[in-house]
Amino acid sequence: MPLKLTSQQFTRSRLNRFGFSFGIELSRNSCFEPSRHPVLNSVKMLGGSILWFRHGLRLHDNPALRNAVNDRSMPFFPIFVFDGETAGTKVVGYNRMRYLLEALNDLDNQFRQYGGRLHMIKGKPADVFRRLWEEFGISKVSFEQDCEPIWRDRDESVRATCKEVGVGCYEFVSHTLWDPDTVIRVNGGIPPLTYQMFLHTVAIIGDPPRPVDDVDLGLINFGVLPDSFYKEFEVFDKAPKPEDLGVFLENEDIRMIRWVGGERAALAQMEQRLAVEHETFCKGSYLPTHGSPDLLGPPISLSPALRFGCLSVRKFYWSLQDLFQRVHQGRLSSSQFIAGQLIWREYFYTMSVNNSSYAQMEGNPICLDVPWRQPQADELQRWKEGRTGFPFIDAAMRQLRTEGWLHHAVRNTVASFLTRGTLWLSWEHGLKHFLKYLLDADWSVCAGNWMWVSSSAFEALLDSGECACPVRLGQRLEPSGQYVRRYVPELTNMPDKYIYEPWKAPMEVQQRAGCVLGRDYPPPIVDHLEAAVRNRSAMQELRRILDKAQPHCCPSSEEEIRQFMWLQDVPQPDVATS
């Protein structure tokens, strides 16, 4: 493998990248008030108010909804526009698309209980809103802030249309705990470079706002789309199926865990999650999904619900804080640590807002130019399809494709396996795959985690040997091997002793288990030990070259690295595959 790191490469990359300073942008929390506009005079003046759903697919803690219905005399149009991008629909697998459509269906059903409906329309948001303005003279469009730069063109085009015709445009921050623009401003115009600096900055800003009150939908005057709309746009009478939008199940459906999208399911899940949190707090602990990862039971994760905004992050955050206070009666101060993972989410969003190259190496000022290899033969495909010959990796990659879900520790393992741990392939390949298949795939959160795990943006480098060994981590997290047996049925009868390293099983054991390597299950794609040693020296070389780098993104401390990567306190040697 050509793993040689040349000093020119890194010096060049440092100069190009770390010389960059983040520009301070004007806040996008805009509020454009309707003015007396000449064109308005020529349209019918029934008035109307649009709530434009993108993320934030909920009724609770929805400041945009409150704003949209504050004048109850106006017809109210809750709308979702299928524009081929919104809510992460550009590259999307079956599971996430279905989750989104279930969330829309849930909103539609909730509105229907009050005589309304969610208008689901295919088209470009600016065109849809312009037509509504022509029909009704709508006077305002309200929406939740989508802070990532990938949404900027879409939002700018809607703002420009609204401005042109004199419609008020109102944007509200409720997808994040703090407004990323405020965090950047308080941090002196650049995003905080470490998580600790981020915590420090938000401590200066103060507690995030509590959720806003629910809206009483009973008194709302729901608008009805004119017939002409049905001719000009594709309007769905009820939430479509993924197949209606050209998204099909790609692989055999061996799903064990079925995630259900929608606000009502998310609120019920949060209650279950709070019961687990309660038990954990009573034991004097916190972060239950980290303390005892359960790869087999029903997941208690809320990340898909948070990603689509079916659950308000502020509601979850404050429910946790209040619960902690109730359990400890003020004897312990909760501060931010009990919601530490939610704050990682904030951190990654904030790092991305002014960096449109955040999800790629090219032109990305916070990402190192690690000279990753080009994929050879079918090795990338084997990683994606779960055919690497490492059972823990293969189980995970198959779970991802079939269910859209992976536990955080498992994500770390497959990510480091693809990048600096074993294969030495670019994190961009992994990101693309995750962005398609993960239920909770979030552009900035996913890219941030990939850069972190691959040491591309936060280069206080770990030794590759500590890079979540694909054998040892499996053995530690799920000693019974049931996780592997669930997703890699070829290994069902492999004895526990060999379940994570079947290459060590003698031939007669393989034959008895009905799983002969090379015939029923692939041999390891690489010699892991050899690769780990080679990668470690490449990373050490990189560290040497970067020794004198200017301040840049990096982990806050060794402790943070260990926690993030699920490493043991005592480093474990890598496992050999031959």
Annotated binding site for FAD: 286, 341-348, 440-442
Identify the residue among 52, 450, 458, 500 touching ligand FAD (CB under 6 A). 450
Q: Which long-range contacts (CB under 8 A, 24 or more apart) does 548-554 make?
A: 549/14, 549/18, 550/14, 550/18, 551/193, 552/18, 552/193, 552/366, 552/459, 553/193, 553/194, 553/351, 553/366, 553/457, 553/458, 554/193, 554/194, 554/458, 554/459, 554/460
**Only segment of 54-62, 211-219, 444-452, 519-527 that touches ligand FAD (CB under 6 A):** 444-452
| Residue 411: CB minimum distance to ligand FAD, A | 4
Identify the residue among 140, 175, 307, 536 touching ligand FAD (CB under 6 A). 307
| Residue 308: CB minimum distance to ligand FAD, A | 10
| Residue 217: CB minimum distance to ligand FAD, A | 28
Q: Which of 71, 169, 85, 167 is CA-nearest to residue 124?
A: 85
Identify the residue among 169, 183, 310, 441 touching ligand FAD (CB under 6 A). 441
The smaller minimum CB distance to ligand FAD, of residues 382 and 429, is found at 429
Residue 348 as a binder of ligand FAD (CB under 6 A): the answer is: yes
- Cβ pair 106, 265 in contact under 8 A: yes
| Residue 247: CB minimum distance to ligand FAD, A | 18
CB neighbours of residue 534 within 10 Å? 17
Sign of CA dihedral 84, 86, 90, 96: negative
The smaller minimum CB distance to ligand FAD, of residues 328 and 432, is found at 432
Identify the residue among 440, 490, 501, 574 touching ligand FAD (CB under 6 A). 440
Identify the residue among 446, 477, 525, 546 touching ligand FAD (CB under 6 A). 446
Residue 442 as a binder of ligand FAD (CB under 6 A): the answer is: yes
Identify the residue among 289, 354, 422, 510 touching ligand FAD (CB under 6 A). 289
CA distances from 18 to 133, 366, 445 (A): 47, 7, 22
- Cβ pair 458, 191 in contact under 8 A: no
3-state secondary structure of 94: helix
Look up tokens 């590759």; give the residue.
464
- Cβ pair 250, 396 in contact under 8 A: no
CB neighbours of residue 412 within 10 Å? 22
The smaller minimum CB distance to ligand FAD, of residues 77 and 434, is found at 434
CA distances from 453 to 17, 221, 547 (A): 19, 50, 20
The strand pair at 234-236 and 140-144 is best described as: unpaired
State the binding site.
286, 341-348, 440-442
CA distances from 32 to 43, 113, 164 (A): 20, 32, 11
| Residue 441: CB minimum distance to ligand FAD, A | 4
Looking at residue 79, the DSSP 8-state letter turns out to be: E
The smaller minimum CB distance to ligand FAD, of residues 313 and 542, is found at 313
| Residue 223: CB minimum distance to ligand FAD, A | 34
Looking at the DSSP assignment, which residues form a beta bridge with residue 373? 425
| Residue 427: CB minimum distance to ligand FAD, A | 8
Task: Enumerate residues 374-433 that contact ligand FAD by CB under 6 A.
Answer: 407-408, 411-412, 415
Residue 445 as a binder of ligand FAD (CB under 6 A): the answer is: yes
Estimate to the nearest angstrom the gap between the alpha carbon of 522 and the chain centroid: 31
Could you give the CA distance from residue 428 to residue 526 in angstroms, rounded to a whole number?
21
| Residue 237: CB minimum distance to ligand FAD, A | 32
The smaller minimum CB distance to ligand FAD, of residues 145 and 303, is found at 303
Residue 449 as a binder of ligand FAD (CB under 6 A): the answer is: yes
Q: Which of 313, 326, 8, 23 is CA-nearest to residue 144?
A: 313
| Residue 144: CB minimum distance to ligand FAD, A | 16
The smaller minimum CB distance to ligand FAD, of residues 127 and 294, is found at 294
The smaller minimum CB distance to ligand FAD, of residues 289 and 350, is found at 289
Identify the residue among 107, 173, 184, 306 touching ligand FAD (CB under 6 A). 306
Residue 453 as a binder of ligand FAD (CB under 6 A): the answer is: yes
- Cβ pair 476, 568 in contact under 8 A: yes
How would you list the strands of the sheet with 234-236, edge to edge? 31-32, 168-172, 140-144, 49-53, 76-82, 119-122, 234-236
Q: Give the residues lining the site for ligand FAD (CB under 6 A).
A: 289-290, 301-303, 306-307, 341-342, 344-345, 348, 407-408, 411-412, 415, 434, 438, 440-442, 445-446, 449-450, 453
